[in-house]
Amino acid sequence: MAKVIVYPPTSMILSDLVERMGHKALVVPEAVRRLVTASGIESPPLNMTPEEPKKGLRYAAVDVPSGVRGRMSLIGPIIEEAEAAIIVEDPGWLTGCAGCSRTNELVRLLIRTKGVPVLDLSYPTNDAEAKVFVSKIRTFLEGLK
């Protein structure tokens, strides 16, 4: 079983595919769940505090907007954990979205420079493309140990 990060990192469709193939999907909702169920923090809706953007300094400099650093405090540790990645280009917002394009760019860069196997895909626009899309993901995941 490999730990696979998906991009967009909020995509439930992609994480479902990864899990079905017996691997562990690394996704943001998991990190958010840890925050919102943490006791002793009262900062809805995500239970993020000003400490999170500071944790994000590990991935982005202090002159990077706080919203990017805050998002990176959730996504950065997942990237560090990843042993493989699936990146879907132009996924459309229904697939999942971090809300911030600068964060998306940084996430893609950090995944690609990490040196783990990466599957790059285009988002399917019809049924035929969707079948090829799923097939490529399956082949990629089967090849992971």
Interface positions with other proteins (CB under 8 A): 42-46, 48-54, 63-71, 74, 93-94, 97-102, 104
CB atoms within 10 A of CB 75: 26
Q: Are 78 and 9 in contact (CB under 8 A)?
A: yes
Q: Are 114 and 82 in contact (CB under 8 A)?
A: yes
The distance in angstroms from the start CA to the end CA of the chain is 6
CB of 47 to other proteins, least distance (A): 9
Comparing CB distances to other proteins, the nearer of 96 and 121 is: 96
CB of 112 to other proteins, least distance (A): 18
Comparing CB distances to other proteins, the nearer of 44 and 115 is: 44
Comparing CB distances to other proteins, the nearer of 21 and 64 is: 64
Comparing CB distances to other proteins, the nearer of 97 and 116 is: 97
CB of 80 to other proteins, least distance (A): 19
Region of 12 on the Ramachandran plot (φ > 0 left; ψ -120 to 50 alpha; else beta): alpha
